[in-house]
Structure 1
Amino acid sequence: MAFATVLATAPAAEAAEAAERRAPVRITRFLGEQRIPYKMTFQGTTVGGLSGVDRDPRTGTWYLISDDRDRYNPARFYTGHLDINRRTGDFTGVRLTGVRTLTRPDGTPYPGYGRPGAADPETIRFDRWTGRLVWGDEGDRPDARNPDIPISQPAIRRTDLNGRQVGEFALPRNLRLTNTERGPRRNFGFEGLAVTARSVTAVTEGPRYEDGPLPTAERGSLARITVWDRQGRPRGQYAYRLDRLPEPPNPPTGDADTGVSEILAIDDHRYLALERSWIEGVNYRVKLYEIDLRGASNVLGRDSLARGGYRPVGKRLVYDLGTFRPPVQNLESLSWGPRLAGGECTLVIGSDDNFDERETTRFMAFAATGCPSGQ
């Protein structure tokens, strides 16, 4: 009788788990906030510019990447712990435990800002299937305001846990930076990264020149999501429709930009996406979306998206962070945290302070449902 009961309940449990994976992600409650002091020093480095975080679910170690390009110290990432109580969900602390310099295959640090081969680290993931790290380099290029910047191509790189590069993904031709109005714009390259058992996915922050103008308060624009196989070969690319600016700049001639600052895998097709705007006279505005690549057109072979004729990825609003715990910060980090005893998972969203005393390095933790298993 017991054996029969096991046979009867096992498929039901598997079906329930599959339904949980397919359920949309929903934020259920806020768990707390922690901050790192402005320009805190740690093991001889200046902490700031934390633009990506991720967690090793096996050890509980967190990895935090800085987008400092040798203004203070060479390109680097930190290890640490975010203290989230699995029973209550209380988020009580954040502490750093180590720092590693990101290095090239020969073991030397990447050159600093404005030098050939400079790196601009923007996102990091722990790859549980290899035990290594994957990080995104936005690259750099000249533009009208910065005509003397040399071209440094964007990249998705593998590194060991000591920071040494051990591999690099093939860069699609349409994402190569140039010194003309072709390819990605400056500061609109790789900004978000996600890793699953079958693929590695990255998103450009904003539109390439050929894909249309930057968003305004009247109209949105397009970014590109690229999917690689586990060997680092591009297998698809998809159009992500950016919202229009939530408000016009003040004054109307002021600066503004909007784009995807991070993505996070839910499964092999669905991701969370942070869509962040900065608007002069308004400050930051951020929304969290769930997106789905299924049904979207593969635009890897398309040089331009400006004329349409394709289907973009599906997109559903999960949470509007634009008025949450003001002032809204420069939210750039997104990671799953530990599973809570009650079954909810945790979602951590972090801000990059840009090494600016007017901004903060803030981590906010939320409980959520519809999350992947294994957290």
Structure 2
Amino acid sequence: MSARRGALLLALGLAAGSCAPYALAPPAEPLLSLLGSRPLIVPFGATVGGFRVGGLSAIARAADGTYLAVVDNEGETPARVFRLAFTVSESGVAPPPGKTPLEVPVAVVPLARSDGEKFNGKNFDGEGLALEPSGEMLIASETEPSIREFSLEGRTLRSLPVPELFLAGRGKGIRNNLGFESLTLAPGGDVLWTANERALQQDAPEDLARPSPVRLLRYEWRNGGFVPGAQFVYEVEPLQQKLGAGFQTRGLSDLLALPGGDLLALEREFVEGRGLAIQIFRVSLAGATDVSGMESLAGQSWTPVRKTLVYDFARSGLVPDNLEGMTFGPTLPDGSRTLVLVSDNNFNPLQKTQLVALRLRP
């Protein structure tokens, strides 16, 4: 466990249920609305196949209607993906009929290298997850950072190339534990998006009082594999709550590709003693500069993507836990699409593994 994550775990535990979330100004026309009035909570201590359920940092819906969720890291325990079964309706998220919340996790898949050696929480920090049309799993780890393709049995099939400027080094690349936190496939499956959680070392100093310019990295399917292409600047909001003296952070936690080329971006903020602030933004690439040729953003001229607030959990009536992952859920009877979000409880008994559903307005 990193020092940063240890501090977050302690701080979240101390603050659980005690702080009102901070709200941004509401969007003029809400794109998203809450389904139901409360989340589904997977009880702490739930297990599948001998593995403890928790630390769920990303989620994706499988073709059979179940969901896969990747664990970020838990010491030296095996890196793994859980399969979850639940329903989504106008009433929100619920266990399948006749089942309890303890029975929502139904299977586990440990993750391994191509030679069969298992990954663990020391060398793999799963933070982003997308499912290919063929069924294979694409998983981002922010340790290096890396993106790997896994079979549904959990064995590495290949690693995607990562541009050099993202790789951690002296004065360059990702900051500790602030690498690839997101992963999403565009409709059609030939474009893959990821991003660093906060600015690369060479792009901007770490300053929570100012926007943090991260790079949206687009992969394109060419000649039988994904290759890195254009990059666009996305500015993570400054800290919305008052700066405190304790642990505090804000970052880009996940992305979700919409039909037509726009993206949804999930930003998560925590300030010790104050609580969480979690918002979703709609992102347009129109007019944004491709910065893939810039080794550093500092001193350069560029235009960021445009972002619009479309949902703020502070105005939902729901107290969110550490929401980190989102995916599309089923279509409702009225034709509306749904979003499903999952929280990472950091394997902390004072936090919760929540599953939350939102309606996406047509």
Shorter-chain TM band: 0.7 to 0.9
Residue 93 of structure 2 corresponds to 91
Distance 1:351 1:90, change over 3 A: closer
Map 1:109-128; keep pairs closer than 5 Å: 109-113=118-122, 118-128=123-133
Distance 1:215 1:285, change over 3 A: farther
Q: Does 1:279 align with 2:271?
A: yes
**1 CA distance for matches of 2:53 and 2:315?**
27
Map 1:1-375; keep pairs closer than 5 Å: 26-31=31-36, 32-56=38-62, 58-71=63-76, 73-85=77-89, 88=90, 90-93=92-95, 95-113=104-122, 118-128=123-133, 130-139=134-143, 153-178=144-169, 180-196=170-186, 197-217=189-209, 219-230=210-221, 231-250=225-244, 253-267=245-259, 269-325=261-317, 327-370=319-362
Distance 1:55 1:182, change over 3 A: same
Shift of 1:106: 0.7
**2 CA distance for matches of 1:208 and 1:300?**
13
Q: Which amino acid aligns with 1:84?
A: V
Distance 1:322 1:90, change over 3 A: closer
**2 CA distance for matches of 1:354 and 1:324?**
23
Asked if the contact 2:280–2:310 (Cα under 8 Å) also holds between the matched residues in 1, the reply is: yes
Q: Which amino acid aligns with 1:48?
A: G
Q: Which amino acid aligns with 2:239?
A: L
Unaligned 5+ residue runs, structure 1?
Answer: 1-23, 140-152, 371-375
Counterpart secondary structure, 1:340: coil
**2 CA distance for matches of 1:111 and 1:338?**
32
**2 CA distance for matches of 1:302 and 1:220?**
19
Counterpart secondary structure, 1:322: helix
**1 CA distance for matches of 2:335 and 2:85?**
21
44-53 or 261-270, which moves further after superposition?
A: 261-270
Higher relative contact order, structure no. (Cα contacts within 8 Å, ≥ 6 residues apart): 2
Query: What TM-score do the two structures reach when normalised by structure 1?
Result: 0.81
Shift of 1:326: 5.2
**2 CA distance for matches of 1:74 and 1:268?**
38
Asked if the contact 2:78–2:119 (Cα under 8 Å) also holds between the matched residues in 1, the reply is: yes
**2 CA distance for matches of 1:323 and 1:89?**
18
Unaligned 5+ residue runs, structure 2?
Answer: 1-28, 96-100
Structure 1's consecutive aligned runs of 4 or more residues displaced over 4 angstroms after TM superposition are none
**2 CA distance for matches of 1:29 and 1:361?**
18
Shift of 1:205: 0.4
Number of residues of Structure 1 aligned to a counterpart in Structure 2: 321
Q: Which amino acid aligns with 2:45?
A: K
Asked if the contact 1:48–1:68 (Cα under 8 Å) also holds between the matched residues in 2, the reply is: no
Distance 1:328 1:215, change over 3 A: farther
**2 CA distance for matches of 1:51 and 1:25?**
26
93-102 or 325-334, which moves further after superposition?
A: 325-334
Asked if the contact 1:29–1:368 (Cα under 8 Å) also holds between the matched residues in 2, the reply is: no
Asked if the contact 1:182–1:210 (Cα under 8 Å) also holds between the matched residues in 2, the reply is: yes
Identity %: 29
Query: What TM-score do the two structures reach when normalised by structure 2?
Result: 0.84
Larger Rg over CA atoms: 1
**1 CA distance for matches of 2:299 and 2:351?**
39
Q: Which amino acid aligns with 1:264?
A: L
Asked if the contact 1:198–1:268 (Cα under 8 Å) also holds between the matched residues in 2, the reply is: no
Asked if the contact 1:53–1:333 (Cα under 8 Å) also holds between the matched residues in 2, the reply is: yes
**2 CA distance for matches of 1:91 and 1:111?**
30
**1 CA distance for matches of 2:298 and 2:346?**
32
Asked if the contact 1:249–1:282 (Cα under 8 Å) also holds between the matched residues in 2, the reply is: no
Counterpart secondary structure, 2:60: strand
